[in-house]
Amino acid sequence: MKNNVGREIPDEILNEKDYKTFKSVDIGNPEKQRVAPKVSVSTGDDKVVDSLEDVVKENVKDGMTISFHHHFREGDFVFNKVMDIIINAGIKDLTLAPSSLTNVMNDKVVEAIKAGTITNITSSGMRGSLGEAVSHGLLKNPVIFRSHGNRARSIEEGEINIDVAFLGVPNSDRLGNANGMNGDAAFGSLGYALMDANYANKVVLLTDNLVDYPNTPASIKQTQVDYVVKVDKVGDPDRIGTGATRFTKNPKDLKIAKMVNDVIIHSPYFKQGFSFQTGSGGAALAVARFLRQSMIDNDIKASFALGGITKPIVDLLEEGLVNKVMDVQDFDKGAASSMKNNKNQQEIDASWYADPDNKGAMVDQLDVAILSALEIDTDFNVNVMTGSNGVIRGAVGGHQDAATSKMTIISAPLTRGRIATVVPKVSTVVTPGDSIDVLVTEVGIAVNPKRKDLVEAFKKVPGLPLVSIDELQKRAEKIVGKPEEIQYTDRTVALVEYRDGTLVDAIKEIKD
């Protein structure tokens, strides 16, 4: 059956898993029932254990759902350590439900799939050897990709029912009061892990830094935690986040960033108390620099910056140009280390950040979002999941969530090498075009024709190179040529949910 972005979703998937197809980016005002976790009652005096093996053997059984967070990013030591024990214990048929999977986890996941340990996965994304393996059919059941907001929703509504959460923390006391801000492996916000701590039936903290009771500030609380396991090291500080984020010198990135800034400051949203979210890519970071100058020149301050936070955003906070930073994760050390010193850098959980089934999420209040794209098509649908060869190599992240902002700008080069970014049809729809408002490339700006108000506003601005997205697509094709079509089999290897849990696309196995 075709959904509302023209994607064919196999009927057997819809029937088997009781799925609905994507209809609209408008969530509406439904009434939803949330779930609550089981509580194993204890006074908490015997939570500290030395043997991770014992904890795993006592709590992880065949067919369960286990979870992890990805706040340690490429410096994670927790995932592989826990998975090794689970694989060696011969446990089978697990559902893996981490907030996302980073490259350091790839080989272990592949090993666990081959061993029959993992038979289902839901994640924000996957890359590298794991993405290749899944795209070539390694996993029998389709992977389910969910945005950060959708993961929060799915946990709250019982679609993801976590039996055991293994959460690495850079500090904890003996009862499990913990935060992400202090310790050798500090990473700042615990945003995504807070969902697991709140909703998993069993919560196992792993830490290399046991501190005096009671530990404050406590992002994860003793009321949520079943075990505190002392390990040698939870993460490699040098690989958790790169040190100082350097500004791009790439002239193409700078040109795009300047054009994005021009779009923002000439939009109706650039006024006292506006809010914004930027990604972590080179162009997005450069936007922060141009935006800073425009805010100073026009004497405009932002009420908040949202999402994954970088040092340039923290600098705006410290300069007084941004009142609050609402922080669900930190992309670099500068952002991670400033949280403990600045009370205006507020840690938020994934639900507060972006869960659509909410009494108001932060993304619902967002004015401007600057996001990236691997591909964007002439209907403004965006792909951040599969590469030009159809192989899984990305993540939904907060893309669908932040795209609900009042003005969502995609900043992307027209082409990358011989690969066109603006294409007739994206290989995978992740974010529907209805929530994308402006595309900025180095050769021109395309406004979604559905946003007549923005078209009118930008027409009045001299020097803004407005073009249609069809022109951009033709221009890209003229440069790189017309590629051959990717060959897929009939088998579905992954499903992409929209943030409300409907199916926005199905990813097929690559034909070799």
Partner 1 sequence: MGIKETALAGTLESSDIQITLSEGTGINIDLDSSVEALYGDQIKKVITDTLNKYGITDAKVKAVDKGALDCVVKARTMAVAQRALGTTDEPNWEVL
- Output the six-digit token pair for 437: 């408002």
Q: Is 293 or 389 the residue whose CB approaches partner 1 more closely?
A: 389
Interface with partner 1 includes 212 (CB under 8 A)? no
Classify 270 in phi/psi space as left (phi over 0), alpha (psi -120 to 50) or beta. Answer: beta
- Output the six-digit token pair for 57: 């053997």
Q: How many helices, marked H, and strands, marked E, lie in the chain?
A: 16, 25
Task: Give the residue, chosen from 16, 212, 484, 490, that forms a contact with partner 1 under the rule CB under 8 A.
Answer: 484
Interface with partner 1 includes 486 (CB under 8 A)? yes
Per-residue CA distances from 262 to 291, 333, 415, 445 (Å): 9, 29, 21, 10
Interface with partner 1 includes 158 (CB under 8 A)? no
Whole-number minimum distance, CB 93 to partner 1, in Å?
Answer: 34
Provide the terminal-to-terminal Cα distance of the chain, rounded to the nearest Å.
26
Q: What is the DSSP letter of 485?
A: P
Q: With H, G, I as helix, E, B as strand and everything else as coil, classify residue 488.
A: strand
Binding-site size, partner 1 (CB under 8 A) = 11
CA distance linking residue 378 with residue 260, whole number of Å: 19
- Output the six-digit token pair for 284: 């997005």
Residues with Cβ < 8 Å from 297, sequence gap 6 or more? none
Report the half-sphere exposure of 427 (CA within 13 A, side-chain side): 27
Interface with partner 1 includes 418 (CB under 8 A)? yes
Interface with partner 1 includes 479 (CB under 8 A)? yes
Handedness of CA 428, 433, 434, 435 (dihedral sign): positive
Interface with partner 1 includes 473 (CB under 8 A)? no
Q: Is 136 or 221 the residue whose CB approaches partner 1 more closely?
A: 136
Interface with partner 1 includes 42 (CB under 8 A)? no
Run of H or E including 166: strand 164-169
- Output the six-digit token pair for 222: 């003793």
Task: Give the residue, chosen from 320, 417, 462, 463, that forms a contact with partner 1 under the rule CB under 8 A.
Answer: 417
Q: Residue 384, class by beta-carbon neighbours within 10 Å (0-12 exposed, 13-18 middle, 19+ buried)?
A: buried
Task: Give the residue, chosen from 321, 419, 457, 464, that forms a contact with partner 1 under the rule CB under 8 A.
Answer: 419
Q: Is 415 or 435 the residue whose CB approaches partner 1 more closely?
A: 415
Interface with partner 1 includes 462 (CB under 8 A)? no
Q: Is 12 or 485 the residue whose CB approaches partner 1 more closely?
A: 485
- Output the six-digit token pair for 7: 């994607």
Whole-number minimum distance, CB 374 to partner 1, in Å?
Answer: 14
**121 - beta bridge partners?**
96
Q: Is 63 or 481 the residue whose CB approaches partner 1 more closely?
A: 481
Q: Which backbone phi and psi does 108 adopt, to 5 degrees?
A: -70, -40
Whole-number minimum distance, CB 492 to partner 1, in Å?
Answer: 20
Strands 419-420 and 415-416: antiparallel
Contact region with partner 1 (CB under 8 A), list: 165-173, 226-234, 243-251, 477-485: 477-485
Interface with partner 1 includes 483 (CB under 8 A)? yes
Contact region with partner 1 (CB under 8 A), list: 52-60, 224-232, 332-340, 417-425: 417-425
Whole-number minimum distance, CB 487 to partner 1, in Å?
Answer: 8
Q: With H, G, I as helix, E, B as strand and everything else as coil, classify residue 7.
A: coil
Contact region with partner 1 (CB under 8 A), list: 203-211, 356-364, 393-401, 415-423: 415-423
Count CB atoms within 10 A of the CB of residue 337: 18
Interface with partner 1 includes 293 (CB under 8 A)? no
- Output the six-digit token pair for 504: 């926005």
Run of H or E including 130: helix 128-135
Interface with partner 1 includes 27 (CB under 8 A)? no
Interface with partner 1 includes 474 (CB under 8 A)? no
Contact region with partner 1 (CB under 8 A), list: 92-100, 273-281, 474-482, 497-505: 474-482
Contact region with partner 1 (CB under 8 A), list: 91-99, 163-171, 343-351, 473-481: 473-481
Whole-number minimum distance, CB 427 to partner 1, in Å?
Answer: 11
Using CB under 8 A, which residues numbered 366 to 405 contact partner 1? Answer: 388-389
Whole-number minimum distance, CB 375 to partner 1, in Å?
Answer: 13
Q: Is 177 or 388 the residue whose CB approaches partner 1 more closely?
A: 388
Interface with partner 1 includes 51 (CB under 8 A)? no
Interface with partner 1 includes 214 (CB under 8 A)? no
Whole-number minimum distance, CB 415 to partner 1, in Å?
Answer: 9
Q: Residue 84, class by beta-carbon neighbours within 10 Å (0-12 exposed, 13-18 middle, 19+ buried)?
A: middle
Run of H or E including 401: helix 399-402
For residue 175, give the nearest of 229, 228, 217, 220 by alpha carbon: 228
Interface with partner 1 includes 481 (CB under 8 A)? yes
Residues with Cβ < 8 Å from 221, sequence gap 6 or more? 176, 177, 197
Contact region with partner 1 (CB under 8 A), list: 23-31, 79-87, 242-250, 414-422: 414-422
Q: What is the DSSP letter of 104?
A: G
Q: Which residue reads 């009321």 in tokens? A: 223
Q: Is 12 or 484 the residue whose CB approaches partner 1 more closely?
A: 484
Interface with partner 1 includes 250 (CB under 8 A)? no
Q: Is 63 or 483 the residue whose CB approaches partner 1 more closely?
A: 483
Q: Is 211 or 480 the residue whose CB approaches partner 1 more closely?
A: 480
Q: Is 236 or 477 the residue whose CB approaches partner 1 more closely?
A: 477
Binding site for partner 1 (CB under 8 A): 388-389, 417-419, 479-481, 483-484, 486
